Amino acid sequence: MKNLRNQIVFIVAVLVVWQVVYQMGSFPELMFPSLGKIFQSLIKGFSRDGLGAMTLYSLSLIAKGLLIGIVLAFILSGLSIVSKTFYSIYHMVVSLCDLIPGVALLPLAILWMGIGEGTIILIVVHSIIWPMSRSIMDGFRAVPQIYIESGKNMGLGKLGLVTGIYIPASFSYILSGIRTGWARAWRGLISAEMIFGTTSSGAGIGWFIFMKRTNVDIAGVFAALLVIIAIGIVVEYGVFHTIEKMTLKKWGMSR
Amino acid sequence: MTQEQKGKTPVLDVQNLTKIYDNGGKGDGNEVLKNVNFTMNEGEFVCILGPSGCGKTTFLRCIGGFETFDGTVKVNGKEVTEPGTDRIMVFQDFNQLLPWKTVEKNVQYPLKIQGLKDKTKLREISDAALEKVDLLSSRTLYPHQLSGGMKQRVAIAKALALKPQIILMDEPFASLDAMTRNHLQEELMKLHQKEKVTVIFITHNIQEAVCLGTRILVMAKQGGIKMDVPNTIPKPVTPASEGYGQMWDMFNKALHQEG
What residue of A is the nearest CA neighbor of B115?
Answer: A155
Mean pLDDT of chain A, nearest integer: 89
Mutation for A interface: B85, B98, B167, most A CBs within 10 A: B98
- All residues of chain A having their beta carbon less than 8 Å from the beta carbon of residue B96 are 146-147, 150
Q: Find the domain containing A213 and state its range.
A: 56-249
Task: Establish if A45 belongs to a structural domain.
Answer: no
Residue A222 has pLDDT above 50, yes or no: yes
B106-135 average pLDDT score = 93
CB contact under 8 A, A149 and B93: no
Distance from CA of A112 to the nearest CA of B (A): 45
Q: What is the pLDDT of residue B6?
A: 47
Q: Is residue A29 part of a domain?
A: no
At B259 the pLDDT is: 54
Give the DSSP letter of residue B236. Answer: S
Q: Nearest CB to A146: which of B88, B96, B110?
A: B96
User: What confidence category does residue B2 fall into, taking pLDDT thresholds of 50, 70 and 90?
Assistant: very low
Helix (H, G, I), strand (E, B) or coil at B30: strand
Is B150 within 8 Å of B138 (Cβ atoms)?
A: yes
CA distance B109 to chain A (A): 8
% residues pLDDT > 70 (chain B): 94
Distance CA B176, CA B97 (A): 16
Cα–Cα distance measured from residue A209 to residue A220, given in angstroms and rounded to the nearest whole number? 7
Q: Tell me, what CATH number does A151's domain have?
A: 1.10.3720.10
B245, B211 contact by CB (below 8 A): no
Taking only residues 22 to 51 of chain B, the set having a beta carbon closer than 8 angstroms to any beta carbon of chain A reads none
Residues of A with Cβ-Cβ distance to B83 under 8 angstroms: 149, 152-153, 155
**What pLDDT, on a 0 to 100 scale, did the predictor assign at position B32?**
85
Mean pLDDT (whole number) for A9-13: 94
- Whether residue B7 has pLDDT greater than 80: no
Total domains in chain A come to 1
The angle at the Cα of A84, spanning A82 to A90, to the nearest 5 degrees, equals 95
Q: How confident is the model at residue B123 (pLDDT cuts 50, 70, 90)?
A: very high
Contacts with A168 from chain B: Cβ below 8 Å: 98, 100
Q: Is residue A51 part of a domain?
A: no
Q: Is B116 on the interface with A (CB under 8 A)?
A: no
Helix-then-strand count for chain B, H and E: 8, 10
Q: Is B224 on the interface with A (CB under 8 A)?
A: no
Instruction: Closest CB to B113: pick one of A146, A147, A160.
Output: A160
Chain A contact present for B64, CB below 8 A = yes
pLDDT digits (tens, 9 = 90+) for B41-99: 999 999 999 888 888 899 999 999 999 999 999 999 899 999 999 999 999 999 999 99
Alpha carbons A79 and A168: distance in angstroms, whole number: 16
User: Between chain A and chain B, how many beta carbons pairs sit less than 8 Å apart?
Assistant: 60
| Cis peptide preceding B236, ω within 30 of 0 | yes
Confidence of residue B125 (pLDDT cuts 50, 70, 90): very high
Nearest one of A32, A54, A57, A34 to A45, comparing CA atoms: A54
Chain B residue at shortest CA distance from A149: B66
Can you name the residues that pair with B33 across neighbouring β-strands? B19
**Residue B221 CA: distances (Å) to CA of A193, B31, B163, B187:** 70, 11, 33, 31
Residue A133 counted as domain residue: yes
Q: B218: which strand partners?
A: B49, B227
pLDDT of residue B1: 40
The pLDDT assigned to A102 comes to: 84
Judged by CB atoms closer than 8 Å, whether chains meet at B91 and A146 is answered as yes
Amino acid at A183: A
Q: How far apart are CA B249 and CA B47, in angstroms?
A: 16
Taking contacts as CB-CB distances below 8 angstroms, the residues of chain B near A251 are 99-100, 142, 144
Instruction: Tell me which of A23-37, A84-98, A125-139 is least confident.
Output: A23-37
Among A58, A78, A49, smallest CA distance to A230 is for A58
Distance, in Å, from the CA atom of A167 to the CA atom of A147, rounded to the nearest integer, reads 11
**Residue among B84, B95, B109 whose CB faces A146 most closely:** B95
Q: What span, in angstroms and rounded, lies between the C-alpha atoms of B227 and B216?
A: 8
Assigned domain for A32 exists: no
Average pLDDT over residues B225-229: 89
Whole-number pLDDT of residue B122: 95
The structural domains of chain B, with segments of one domain joined by +, span: 3-86+168-256, 97-163
A62: nearest Cα among A224, A196, A181:
A181
pLDDT tens digits for A170-210?
999 999 999 988 998 888 888 888 887 666 667 888 888 88
**A86 CA to centre of own chain:** 27
Which residues lie closer than 8 Å to A13 by C-beta, 6 or more apart?
none
Closest-CA distance, B68 to chain A, in angstroms, reads: 14
Has residue A35 been placed in a domain? Answer: no
Homologous superfamily assigned to B3-86+168-256? P-loop containing nucleotide triphosphate hydrolases (3.40.50.300)
DSSP-derived pairing of the beta strands B87-90 and B166-170: parallel
% of chain A residues with pLDDT over 90: 54
Crossing angle between the packed helical segments A205-214 and A51-82, to the nearest 10 degrees:
130
B110 in reach of chain A (CB within 8 A): yes
- For residues A150-167, average pLDDT: 93
B210-223 pLDDT per residue, tens: 999 999 999 988 77
Of A153, A160, A168, the CB nearest to B88: A153
User: Does residue B25 register a pLDDT over 80?
Assistant: no
Give dist(CA A168, CA A162) in Å, integer. Answer: 9
Q: B149, B169, B176: which is closest to B209 by C-alpha?
A: B169
Minimal C-alpha gap between A5 and chain B (Å):
30
